[in-house]
Amino acid sequence: MSKLFQNYKRAAIEFVKAEGSYLFDADGKKYLDFSSGIGVTNLGFHPQVKAALQAQADRIWHTPNLYQNSLQEEVAEKLIGDRDYLAFFCNSGAEANEAAIKIARKATGKQEIITFKDSFHGRTFGSMSATGQDKIKEGFGDGVPHFLYADYNDLSSVKSLASERTAAVMLELVQGESGIHPAEADFVTGLAAFCQDKNILLIVDEVQTGMGRTGKLYSFEHYGIEPDIFTLAKGLANGVPVGAMLGKTKLSAAFGYGSHGSTFGGNKLAMAAASAGLTILKEDGFLETALAKGNYLQDQLKTMLADNPKVTQVRGLGCMIGIETSADLGQLVASARAKGLIVLTAGSNVIRLLPPLTLTKDELDQGLAILQEVFA
């Protein structure tokens, strides 16, 4: 009998080895991974990341944040480039969003934060309270107060909730957990202008959309905006636990000495992996190629499933794709897995695809062929 809490519904297989875009179970069966470990191994099981981890483990794998950490400085430089931000490192997306909530409140002296219905920001009390899905909160009692929930892609809904008490608006530019819903361009640019006009901070949750997932380093680059705060995790260290909150330099006074911290945040191993991953992501043409792969995958799926009566829509951004379907999600996932393809679900009726950005054309076509069989 398992000694683990049964809060996960686990498939009856264990992956014991990985190479590139492939996973291998304990029986030696090979699977093409179109999930990236829920959007984490964005580069697949990449040899450069592995080498960076091994080299760092040979030197030192942890120091507390009481001492200088040149690896954190290196990763921050790669994340920020010539933008006007500062970075804080933590362990997860939920923690990054907690940091964003804290700095927004402290910097503005206000408490209300507007988020969106069907959003997902994490499972700690603050990030869970920011989440606009009741099912995530059931049974845990009262959440953190002062969160208001607007309708996604509806600027008038935001305006109706905003007041002099509003510290920030927080959103995902593709709502992932609820079914892969991209934000509309006019909504995003209008929201950014409204926040700037009303001196409201704009927070973009890039936990799932960041690190090349949408074909840009950050999804906000598709929309021509720069948020006051954005958060990262998942693909940041390609499988090693890490999160980051990046905020405009003007917010620095709100996170002065002793205001916030993390024992493991910016751990040497995580930073070594993140630095190696960012080097790959920033190679000339890498992100453009990743975007082209995502567009190819979406286009092929739309053509392939156009006449399927159980498929309503294929939508997404870059390599973050949802297939809305009336078919049984559990059966689809199990059928794909039996044929050697790992896929995910999102919401109540969406198959979610988060393939590695490093997939070859042959691997893309292999995955498409299996999906065609599964949906047939």
Q: Which domain holds residue 330?
A: 15-43+306-375
pLDDT over 90 percentage in the chain: 100
The type of residue at 28 is G
C-alpha to C-alpha distance for 352 and 33, rounded to whole angstroms: 12
In this structure, the answer to whether residues 315 and 361 fall within a common structural domain is yes
Residues 364 and 240 occupy one common structural domain? no
| Residue 92 sits in the same domain as residue 167 | yes
Domain shared by 123 and 255, yes or no? yes
pLDDT value for 249 = 98
Q: What is the pLDDT of residue 199?
A: 98
Give mean pLDDT, residues 277-282: 98
CATH of the domain at 145: 3.40.640.10
Same domain flag for 28 and 57:
no
The verdict on 128 and 209 lying in the same domain is yes
Residue 291 lies in a domain: no
pTM, full prediction: 0.98
How many residues are present in the chain? 376
Same domain, 270 and 311: no
pLDDT digits (tens, 9 = 90+) for 284-312: 999 999 999 999 999 999 999 999 999 99
**Number of structural domains the chain divides into:** 2
Residue 314, domain member (yes or no): yes
pLDDT in tens, 212-252: 999 999 999 999 999 999 999 999 999 999 999 999 999 99
| Contact by Cβ (8 Å): 317, 182 | yes
- Give the model's pLDDT for residue 338: 98
pLDDT tens, residue by residue, 37-95: 999 999 999 999 999 999 999 999 999 999 999 999 999 999 999 999 999 999 999 99
Same domain, 32 and 153: no
Pair 64, 133 in one domain: yes
pLDDT of residue 304: 97
Please tell me whether residues 52 and 33 are part of one structural domain: no
The pLDDT tens digits of the residues spanning 105-162 come to 999 999 999 999 999 999 999 999 999 999 999 999 999 999 999 999 999 999 999 9
